[in-house]
Amino acid sequence: MATDKQTLRIGLIGFGCVGQGLYDILQQRPETGFEVARIAVKNPTKPRSLPLSQFDFHADDLLHDPSLDVLVEVIDDAAEAFRLVSEALRQGRRVVTANKAMLARHLPELVQLQRQAGGTLLYEAAVCGSIPIIRTLDAYFGAEPLRSVTGILNGSSNYVLTRMGEEGSDYAPALAEAQAKGFAETDPTLDMGAFDPRSKAVILAAHAYGTFLQPEEVLNLGIEQINAVDIAFAATLGRKIKVVAGLQRLPDGRVTALVTPLFVAPESPLYSVDHEFNGVLIEADFAGEQFLQGRGAGGHPTGSAVLADLAAIRQGYSYHYPKLTTSSPTYATDLELEIYLRTDEDRLIDALDFTEISEEADEDGYVVGYVALSNLLRVKELIQKFGAFVVRTGAVRPLTATTSALELEESL
């Protein structure tokens, strides 16, 4: 193993936005003591900023190169990323990844592989770009109970919502602008459908509460159907609509996780997190509130998080998952959420089976009231199908009534 004074040789798998960002940082700061020794990419014909001779085209060659001190995986393919990372960990190697979808799906297996083979896996870059949220939860708050971890974890959707709320833009041109600036992908589904922040919420749950979740267990609702009526309704409340991932410890000790549009009040630190920025609010039992804000995406911000992981690996750091014990809290879904639903489809209202309605406006086509979380999970695809839009008010309470939404959904 290299000492602190030796240069660590990096095997870089992937040379997209994050890979190029890390390479650029290390070229500018050679004194960090990290050298990108080999770079593996998939497509030999894709134009790149470096000569073709500097690339390998078989990532497995890097896996089996003992001269490489650390492997950095920054590809888009979650299945291939898992294959590469898991094999590296079986070899007892040190690995850094930024692949949040892969981690959300396979984190329990990866943690077990580390323990069995003695490897190290760090992934600060997978959540919130430059914000050191994972290390903060794992190390600083490892011994302290947390009431909640709430955050804007996706810069793409936050940029679109900022443009719609402050500039009066419609959804389509705001999305096109985000894509033109590189904040949103050509296929924006993962970001705008809240799948990306759902993956990040699953990762945070392991460190904040010691709970391994599967992505499908977590409600995720996106903003693809948002329009001016919704923005105007939020304005009447003096609030902004933000896609917020909320992890919360309930009074009975169980935890829940929700990733949805939320009406955010001005007194919340998240209210002022705009454009492509991310922000995370931690509420601890004894430390109180802590707030972190920074750039959540981009080559250099995310590359800086990879660099931080490389520096931590040099120092022998690894995640300890201090809250991952046999007494980890149970995940709760028997809850009711207060929502704003804008739809002209009565069948969807019937399927959601509101247990209480506090406001209804036929002319604008919206309803405000309480709905069982289980019903939202069941009819999530129908919300998209019918072009409806849902925003949480933030109110959560224990389930007060059983519903027949499953039967109603099957009849639609």
- What is the tens place of the pLDDT at every residue in 20-42? 999 999 999 999 999 999 999 99
Number of Cβ within 10 Å of residue 17's Cβ equals: 18
Looking at residue 401, its pLDDT comes to 53
Looking at residue 43, its pLDDT comes to 92
Q: What CA–CA distance (Å, rounded) separates 138 from 359?
A: 42
Assigned CATH for 8-131: 3.40.50.720
Looking at residue 127, its pLDDT comes to 97
- Cβ–Cβ < 8 Å for 412, 351: yes
Looking at residue 185, its pLDDT comes to 83
The residue among 231, 241, 247, 255 whose CA lies nearest residue 333 is 255
- Count Cβ neighbours within 10 Å for each residue of 296-322 and write b for 16 or more, e otherwise: bbbbbbbbbbbbbbbebbbeebebebe
Positions marked catalytic = 200
Strands of 42-167 (E only): list them: 55-56, 70-73, 94-97, 120-122, 146-152
| Helices 100-117 and 195-209, packing angle to 10 deg | 30
Provide the 3-class DSSP secondary structure of residue 238: coil
Q: Which residues of the chain have pLDDT under 70?
A: 1-5, 401-412
- Cβ–Cβ < 8 Å for 321, 111: yes
Strands of 123-238 (E only): list them: 146-152, 219-220
Looking at residue 167, its pLDDT comes to 79
How far out from the chain centre does Cα 205 lie? Answer: 11
Number of Cβ within 10 Å of residue 238's Cβ equals: 10
Domain covering 335-410 assigned CATH 3.30.1600 in the classification: no
Query: Between the CA of residue 69 and those of 26, 63, 124, what are the distances in Å?
Result: 15, 11, 19
Q: What CA–CA distance (Å, rounded) separates 197 from 101?
A: 10
Burial class for 393, CB neighbours closer than 10 Å (0-12, 13-18, 19+) = middle
The residue among 298, 303, 275, 269 whose CA lies nearest residue 149 is 269
Looking at residue 181, its pLDDT comes to 84
Provide the 3-class DSSP secondary structure of residue 392: strand
Domain ranges of the chain: 8-131, 335-410
Burial class for 323, CB neighbours closer than 10 Å (0-12, 13-18, 19+) = buried
Pull the structure tokens for residue 150: 């709430």
